[in-house]
Amino acid sequence: MSAVARAPATADPMQPAPWRVRAVRRETEDVVSLDLVPLAGAVPGFAPGQFNMLYAFGIGEVPISLSGDPADTTRYVHTVRAVGAVSAAIVGAAPGSVLGLRGPFGSAWPVAAAEGHDLLIVAGGLGLAPLRPAIYQVLASSERFGRIAVLYGGRGPAELLFRDELAAWGARADVTVAVTVDHADPSWHGHVGVVPALLDKVGFDPASTVALLCGPEVMLRFTATALCGAGVAAERIHLSMERNMKCAVGLCGHCQFGPDFVCKDGAVLRYDRIAARLAAREI
């Protein structure tokens, strides 16, 4: 799927459409995944990496990446952490309740362009959710890629997302999965340390590697720098940027990142395009 924006699902991109919460799954103490279905019409297709604006009626709306399988045309899946009034209301939505939805918006992970290359998928914390649609798509046709590795880190074992899926992916012969935590507890017997350190745990050909990164900005900076130092070309490193989005169509300016508007030029952006700005923490 090329990294181009699709037309919004609603006729008016500023008008939320009503979607019903079909199911809620608790991922961690403060993170849930919601299955959403439209009250009317079909579920529009989306590209891995795109996001929707979810609206809690009477409270507000926030941008949330799609985290489900793009091949599943029966629902949208969003994985949400409660960090403010709006996201807390969305996390607290019960099955049968209704949320507003605008989208899909934004650019996509360059999955098709990565075919024939080694593929590194690197996530930190909640950053695994926006990458999960790309993982689904890649593993559905893994024979089209070289070596595939999923590297994931969280603050602690209790905060790791999709642990059953991580185990299932790691059991496959066509993908390497490495997981780390910043701080272990007695239940954890895996790697302890930062996500970039996992790069030494997997084999990849820097001259033929495409990397997809999503997570905290400090993780993005250090991981992209490590990949470039290993010989991966900056134009083959793709990052999903998090910025405060309000309109999702490039009008309000809240998500401006230098000359780019993350809502419409991103959220997936090539590292060579933003490397200098990413190094400036105040932008």
Cα separation, 210 vs 121, in Å, equals 9
Q: How many CA atoms lie within 13 A of 154 on its CB side?
A: 19
Which tokens go with 186? 């007695």
Cα separation, 226 vs 228, in Å, equals 5
92 inside domain? yes
Q: 6: pLDDT confidence band, cut at 50, 70 and 90?
A: very low
Backbone angles phi, psi at 29, to 5 degrees: -60, -35
37-65 tens-digit pLDDT: 999 999 999 999 999 999 999 999 999 99
For residue 58, which of 8, 114, 16 has the smallest C-alpha distance?
Answer: 16
10 inside domain? no
Lowest-pLDDT range, 10-19, 105-114, 135-144, 146-155?
10-19
Cα separation, 104 vs 121, in Å, equals 22
- Average confidence (pLDDT) over 98-115: 97
User: Between the CA of residue 175 and those of 110, 170, 172, 209, what are the distances in Å?
Assistant: 18, 7, 6, 14
196 inside domain? yes
For residue 102, which of 215, 16, 218 has the smallest C-alpha distance?
Answer: 16
- Average confidence (pLDDT) over 196-223: 95
Residues 121 and 201 occupy one common structural domain: yes
For residue 74, which of 46, 50, 93 has the smallest C-alpha distance?
Answer: 46
Position 156, amino acid? G
224 inside domain? yes
CB within 8 Å of 270: residues ≥ 6 apart? 234, 235, 237, 238, 239
Residues 223 and 121 occupy one common structural domain: yes
Average pLDDT, the chain: 93
187 inside domain? yes
171 inside domain? yes
9 inside domain? no
Percent of the chain, pLDDT > 70?
A: 95
The domain total for the chain is 2
Q: 11: pLDDT confidence band, cut at 50, 70 and 90?
A: low
| Per-residue pLDDT, 9 | 47
The most distant pair of C-alpha atoms in the chain lies apart, rounded to whole Å, by 52
Residue 269 has pLDDT above 90, yes or no: yes
Cα separation, 96 vs 252, in Å, equals 32
Which CATH number belongs to the domain containing residue 176 in this structure?
3.40.50.80
| Per-residue pLDDT, 4 | 40
Quote the domain boundaries for residue 138: 112-240
Q: 245: pLDDT confidence band, cut at 50, 70 and 90?
A: confident
From 105, 133, 162, the end of a domain falls on 105
- Average confidence (pLDDT) over 168-197: 95
Which CATH number belongs to the domain containing residue 24 in this structure?
2.40.30.10
Residues 67 and 181 occupy one common structural domain: no
From 50, 75, 105, the end of a domain falls on 105
From 77, 105, 133, the end of a domain falls on 105
Helix (H, G, I), strand (E, B) or coil at 7: coil
Residues 126 and 77 occupy one common structural domain: no
Runs of H (alpha helix) within the chain = 85-91, 128-139, 163-170, 217-230, 262-265, 271-278
Cβ atoms of 114 and 131 within 8 Å: the answer is no
3 inside domain? no
